[in-house]
Structure 1
Amino acid sequence: MADPIIIAVPKGRILAEAVPLLERAGIVPEAAFRDEDSRALRFSTNTPGIDLIRVRAFDVATFVAHGAAQLGIVGSDVLAEFDYSELYAPVDLGIGHCRLSVAEPADMAAHDDPRGWSHVRVATKYPHVTEAHFARRGVSAECVKLNGAMELAPLLGLAPRIVDLVSSGRTLKENGLVEVEVICEVTSRLIVNRAAFKTRGHVVPLVEAFRRAVSSPLPLAGGAGGGPETSKAAA
């Protein structure tokens, strides 16, 4: 029996948006997949030849790039940060809308002008993207790598500014921070391991199923029951 196709999906806020998209592509996860309190990491689907894994967003790209998973759903922010040559991102899934922004304390922003910066010290989990962004502007960036709780950095004197994902802006506001510059808009993409795309015959039909799912507001014909796209992919 051939090894199953593994699709890596991120934990957290994207999960709720990803499940309907998966279902429109004809991939219905087992019930436990929706339970964020579940300790399980690998899940079956309605299609015997397709399994899902649920991992941290930053790890999705790594699993797919190294071939442990053949496809994945990940933000364009992660793709920009890692820039894996092994990854192909054929479909913008149109979910997970947010932006990667520079933020600083509101009292600092009141008399600050980003156009006058020559050197910045920034706390972020995106050092590559941050340095590249400021380099294009001729600004020297000193990045302090953090993996979370970014908003604490200015409050505790670790770094006066942060670069982080912003959606509603509520977390920034509650910690006395404001956006002063948007680096890029972010959406989630379908990513594919390049080698798997060329050698695993079931991968291409799956990519096409996702492409159709994005363009269709309704479930694909026969999707929940293993319709043409999933049957062909797992045959």
Structure 2
Amino acid sequence: MDKDFLTIALPKGKLLIDSTQLLSKVGIECGHVNEDSRKLFYDLPDNKVKIIICRPTDIPTYVEYGAADLGFVGKDTLLEENKDVAELLDLRFGYCRFVVAMLETSVPPKLPSGEYDLSLLNHQRVATKFPRVTESFFSSIGMQVTPIKLHGNMELAPCVDLSEMIVDIVSTGKTLRENHLVEVAPILEATTRLIANRVAYRMKYERIRDLVEALRGYLQAEVSAK
């Protein structure tokens, strides 16, 4: 483990720009990381930082095994992958929601509280990219389900009778509505988190602490300015 450098894993895709902009705000200038989508490794010697670009679902693995000291990863991925890492800070971007959804023609009646009465449903098949989160949620409400793992286009599954329900991440809910699906239960809200390898957190504590405090200070100032 190189004690002089911090290796930070950032997610490919839509969260990369937000990640690099946030690092730049605290003095780690890495805007150029967004310019070449084929390059996956960057040295920033002035900051003694190395940046690696990973699939979002792989970041907890890179951090757990020490290939990266730190990682930016969605809380949704963190829960599903269930890796042994330290969660240090809510970075407050990449907001999304985990929800249960069904075809609008299949939803159960509502309770007086306004919630859908899922207890009226028999054993359900649930299409999802997140079987661990799915099983945990339904177990918590005493409902047995069969998760069916898919890798995309969850909305299709109820339409072709592959499943009765889906568990998916939504931002606005527009895609659900376009496919005649209705949210029947919220599961949790998720944002991007800063995670650390547990050994690196001890060995490089001062460097990691300084970065965490800089990020926390910037984020708090942003909230205060609104």
Q: Does the alignment pair 1:138 with 2:142? A: yes
Which piece of structure 1 moves more, 136-145 or 198-207? 198-207
Task: Give SS of 1:108's match.
Answer: coil
The normalised TM-score by structure 1 is: 0.83
Q: Which runs of structure 2 are paired with 1:163-178 in the superposition (5 Å)? A: 163-178=167-182
Distance in 2 separating the partners of 1:115 and 1:27: 51
Q: Does the alignment pair 1:83 with 2:88? A: no
Alpha-carbon distance, 1:118 to partner: 4.1
Partner of 2:104: 106
Unaligned runs of 5+ in 2: 110-115
Unaligned runs of 5+ in 1: 219-235
Q: Which runs of structure 2 are paired with 1:115-134 in the superposition (5 Å)? A: 115-134=119-138
Distance in 1 separating the partners of 2:47 and 2:23: 15
1:5 and 1:70 in contact (8 A); partners too: yes
Deviations 1:130-179 (A, max 9, x none): 10110111101201111222222122222121111110112222222221
Q: Which runs of structure 2 are paired with 1:1-235 in the superposition (5 Å)? A: 4-31=5-32, 33-35=33-35, 38-45=37-44, 47-85=46-84, 87-109=85-107, 113-201=117-205, 202-217=207-222
Distance in 2 separating the partners of 1:104 and 1:3: 51
Structure 2 counterpart of 1:34, one-letter code: N
Task: Give SS of 2:51's match.
Answer: strand
1:27 and 1:46 in contact (8 A); partners too: no
Alpha-carbon distance, 1:17 to partner: 2.4
1:150 and 1:164 in contact (8 A); partners too: yes
1:30 and 1:43 in contact (8 A); partners too: no
Distance in 1 separating the partners of 2:179 and 2:80: 25
Distance in 2 separating the partners of 1:199 and 1:114: 48
Alpha-carbon distance, 1:214 to partner: 1.8
Task: Give SS of 1:216's match.
Answer: helix
Task: Give SS of 1:54's match.
Answer: strand
Task: Give SS of 1:69's match.
Answer: coil
Deviations 1:21-67 (A, max 9, x none): 11122111152x224x7211122347352121222211111111111
Distance in 2 separating the partners of 1:178 and 1:44: 46
Residue identity over aligned pairs, in percent, reads 40
Distance in 1 separating the partners of 2:157 and 2:175: 14
The normalised TM-score by structure 2 is: 0.86
Alpha-carbon distance, 1:205 to partner: 2.0
Distance in 2 separating the partners of 1:72 and 1:82: 14
Q: What stretches of structure 1 move > 6 A for 4+ residues in a row?
A: none
Distance in 1 separating the partners of 2:220 and 2:196: 19
